């Protein structure tokens, strides 16, 4: 049976840590994304043609939102579980009457909450620079929750795998960020010539950005159902891997 | 079989309440092949203070880890509160507290938040009054709003104890609770631990300070190389294995032990200048022998300038066991 008090304790403890580091956690990503909007949205975007009938400034909003969601969900969750391992306080978690479900709901839930709050703030900030509207707001909300959860699970795995702070940054910086940039954040995949277009379709982030863009504008590079399936598949793979970690006690219990 | 081995004289188990914790044939072999626990069996009685002694690498922390869920045993069985730990791990863990050897917590958090978190983590409803009482009993109440990083080492260790007590455990594991703390604080900790025992908490502690075990423990277990060599009541252990040593410095060296002393465990050392007595039982018999020895020497006209007498400590007994085990292993 789910231990709700324990789950709440882990969740609120993680959010409290977020509040303590609110400047770094909130201001830095908002500032970075605002700079993207200023440069690509307002400055360069003014000179760019509309893409599929969407003004360039508005076109990059879902991509930049995805960039934030992916990097923040991953780093929040990886840092959240890595810190107790680093400080040694993980003993308390492992000796408490909590199982994988409580730990995941607490850590992954808190990491996803943080990145969703940040995404909401960035979305509001974007309104200061560009004009946009969301065609399917409920679907958009569900989709970002799904993305935040999937990548928080990935971050949790990274936090278990990492044996140092350097490794924590490895996947977000060397894999996620480049794939997101090349995944259609600032352009439509349809703008690419072959064979680059074909190569881009091998990038899984393309499907995620495209899916979110569809919820905003009702049109995208790939059908929304394909994006949704890709996201659910990724979520299932991460959940399976986390389940395996808890079953074997890998890097958690000796 | 390496299991709990009580010496004759220990209180028979059947006369007592059922064990609050029972470990049967617990073995832990790590992935690298190292055998950390070798078929350990142990029973812990409700309300007692049990001290687990052993050199570094003996397996004390692994044993605690196996009970608390940090270590996955290779084989064996653990029962707590009459229930199987594997099947009823949630209920069991909810009633066990652990104070680890290493200081590990979020140092940027406050004392109050950390103890509240610990209580919540163990599924207990918020109880500000109880947490206040815990913090006051550990002299931490005035520091409740302080960040843990600003506290002294001793205070940090108390925070760990407060966190372990926050969910009102029935069994408390203390892994080297006074490691690295000064003498005054160590005495203070001893008082705290005695207070917990008075409240009915069963305490299992590991320590390098044999004085600590001698001062506080009801029963003692000696571990070495993953095996539990001996478990016994402290007083019984001291009585059975304790020895008196007395050195009589003689004015006139002797060539051989005089016949009137032959019934006593004595020998001549330092070229016959010192008569050495080693015997007794740790319960006063040795002191009686020394008095008899002094009287007989006086009657024989053998004068001496000094008597140096000492009772063997728990440390001597501990070393005796560990050395004997080392010899057997060789």
Over its length of 330 residues, how does chain B's per-residue pLDDT go in tens digits? 344 444 333 344 445 678 999 999 999 999 888 999 999 999 999 999 999 988 888 899 999 999 999 999 999 999 999 999 999 999 999 999 999 988 888 889 999 999 999 999 999 999 999 999 999 988 899 999 999 999 988 889 889 999 999 999 999 999 988 777 777 778 888 888 898 999 999 999 998 777 778 888 999 998 988 999 889 888 787 777 777 889 999 999 999 999 999 899 899 999 999 999 988 776 678 888 899 999 999 999 999 999 998 877 666 777 777 777 666 655
For residues A137 and A177, give the distance between their C-alpha atoms in angstroms, rounded to a whole number: 26
Token pair of B15 as six digits:
């006369």
Q: Do B72 and A95 touch (CB under 8 A)?
A: no
Q: Do A91 and B98 touch (CB under 8 A)?
A: yes
pLDDT of residue B8: 35
Residue A102, CA distances (Å) to A105, A236, B106 in order: 5, 18, 20
Query: Chain B: nearest CA to A9, how far in angstroms?
Result: 5
pLDDT of residue B124: 94
Q: How many CB atoms lie within 10 A of CB A4?
A: 11
pLDDT tens for A191-219 read 888 888 888 888 999 999 999 999 999 98
CB interface of A with B, residues 15-54, below 8 Å: 16-17, 20
Cross-chain CB nearest to A6 (options B104, B107, B123): B123
Query: Chain A: nearest CA to B27, how far in angstroms?
Result: 13
Interface of B with A (CB under 8 A): 30, 65, 68-72, 89-94, 96, 98, 100, 102-109, 113, 117-125, 163
Q: Do A92 and B69 touch (CB under 8 A)?
A: no
Number of domains in chain A: 1
Q: Which residue has the tokens 């960039």?
A: A67
Count interface pairs A-B at CB distance under 8 A: 88
Residue B161 near residue B137, CB atoms below 8 Å: no
Q: Which residue has the higher pLDDT, B212 or A230?
A: A230
Instruction: Work out the angle at residue B227's Cα, subtended by the Cα atoms of residues B222 and B231, and round it to the nearest 5 degrees.
Output: 35
B148-182 residues labelled b (16+ CB within 10 A) or e (exposed) = beebeebbbbbbbbbbbbbbbbbbbbbbbbbbebe
Residue A202 near residue A222, CB atoms below 8 Å: no
Beta bridge partners of B77: B24
- Interchain contact A110–B (C-beta under 8 A): no
Query: Chain A: nearest CA to B160, how far in angstroms?
Result: 10
- Interchain contact A93–B (C-beta under 8 A): yes
pTM confidence score: 0.84
Q: Is residue A254, in this structure, part of any structural domain at all?
A: no
Per cent of chain A over pLDDT 70 is 100
Q: B171-175 and B274-279 as β-strands: parallel, antiparallel, unpaired? A: unpaired
Q: Is residue A31, in this structure, part of any structural domain at all?
A: yes
pLDDT tens for A104-160 read 999 999 999 999 999 999 899 888 888 888 999 999 999 999 999 999 999 999 999
The residue segments making up the domain with residue A222 are: 4-248
Q: Is residue A253, in this structure, part of any structural domain at all?
A: no
Give chain B's domains with CATH numbers.
13-95+170-239 (3.40.50.300), 243-311 (3.30.70)
Total residues found in chain B within this entry: 330
ipTM of the complex: 0.88
Residue of B nearest to A247 (CA): B72
The torsion angles phi and psi of B227, rounded to 5 degrees, stand at -110, 145
**Which residues from A are below 8 Å from B104, CB to CB?**
84, 87-92
pLDDT of residue B20: 96
Report residue A35's pLDDT band, with 50, 70 and 90 as the boundaries: confident
Q: Do A253 and B72 touch (CB under 8 A)?
A: yes
For residues A9 and A15, give the distance between their C-alpha atoms in angstroms, rounded to a whole number: 10
């Amino acid at each position: 049976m789910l231990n709700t008090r324990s789950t709440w304790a882990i969740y609120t403890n993680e959010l409290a840590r977020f509040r303590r580091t609110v400047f770094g956690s909130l201001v830095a990503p908002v500032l970075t994304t605002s700079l993207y909007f200023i440069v690509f949205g307002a400055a360069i975007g003014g000179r760019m043609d509309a893409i599929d009938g969407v003004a360039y400034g508005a076109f990059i909003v879902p991509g930049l939102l995805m960039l934030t969601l992916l990097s923040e969900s991953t780093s929040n969750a990886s840092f959240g579980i890595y810190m107790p391992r680093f400080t040694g306080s993980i003993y308390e978690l492992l000796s408490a009457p909590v199982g994988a479900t409580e730990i995941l709901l607490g850590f992954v839930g808190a990491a996803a909450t943080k990145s969703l709050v940040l995404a909401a703030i960035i979305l509001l900030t974007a309104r200061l620079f560009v004009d946009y509207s969301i065609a399917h707001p409920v679907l958009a909300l569900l989709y970002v929750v799904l993305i935040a959860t999937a990548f928080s699970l990935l971050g949790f795995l990274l936090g278990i795998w990492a044996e140092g702070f350097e490794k924590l940054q490895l996947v977000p910086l060397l894999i996620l960020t480049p794939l997101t940039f090349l995944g259609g954040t600032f352009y439509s995949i349809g703008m690419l010539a072959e064979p680059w277009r074909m190569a881009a379709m091998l990038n899984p982030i393309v499907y995620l950005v495209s899916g979110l863009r569809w919820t905003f504008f009702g049109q995208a590079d790939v059908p929304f159902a394909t994006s949704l399936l890709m996201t659910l598949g990724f979520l299932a793979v991460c959940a399976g891997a986390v389940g395996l970690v808890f079953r074997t006690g890998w890097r958690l219990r000796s | 079989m390496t299991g709990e081995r009580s010496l004759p004289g220990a209180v028979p188990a059947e006369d007592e309440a059922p064990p609050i914790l029972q470990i049967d044939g617990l073995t832990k072999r790590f992935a690298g092949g190292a055998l950390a626990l070798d078929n350990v069996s142990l029973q812990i009685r409700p309300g007692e203070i049990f001290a687990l002694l052993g050199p570094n690498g003996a397996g004390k922390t692994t044993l605690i880890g196996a009970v608390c869920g940090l270590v996955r045993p290779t084989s064996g069985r653990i029962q707590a509160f009459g229930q199987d730990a594997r099947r009823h791990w949630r209920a069991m863990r909810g009633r066990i507290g652990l104070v680890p050897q290493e200081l590990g917590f979020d140092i940027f958090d406050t004392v109050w938040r950390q103890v509240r978190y610990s209580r919540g983590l163990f599924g207990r409803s918020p109880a500000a009054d109880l947490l206040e009482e815990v913090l006051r009993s550990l002299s931490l109440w005035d520091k409740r709003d302080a960040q843990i990083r600003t506290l002294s080492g001793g205070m940090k260790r108390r925070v760990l104890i407060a966190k372990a007590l926050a969910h009102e455990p029935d069994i408390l594991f203390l892994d080297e609770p006074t490691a690295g703390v000064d003498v005054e604080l160590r005495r203070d900790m001893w008082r705290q631990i005695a207070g917990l025992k008075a409240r009915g908490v069963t305490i299992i502690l590991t320590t390098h300070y044999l004085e600590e075990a001698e001062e506080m423990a009801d029963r003692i277990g000696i571990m070495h190389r993953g095996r539990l060599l001996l478990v016994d009541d402290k007083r019984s252990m001291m009585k059975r294995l304790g020895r008196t040593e007395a050195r009589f410095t003689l004015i006139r060296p002797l060539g051989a032990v005089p016949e009137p002393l032959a019934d006593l465990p004595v020998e001549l050392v330092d070229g016959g200048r010192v008569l050495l007595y080693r015997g007794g039982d740790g319960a006063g018999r040795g002191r009686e022998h020394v008095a008899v020895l002094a009287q007989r020497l006086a009657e024989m006209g053998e004068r001496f300038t000094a008597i140096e007498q000492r009772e063997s400590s728990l440390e001597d007994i501990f070393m005796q066991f560990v050395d004997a085990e080392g010899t057997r292993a060789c």
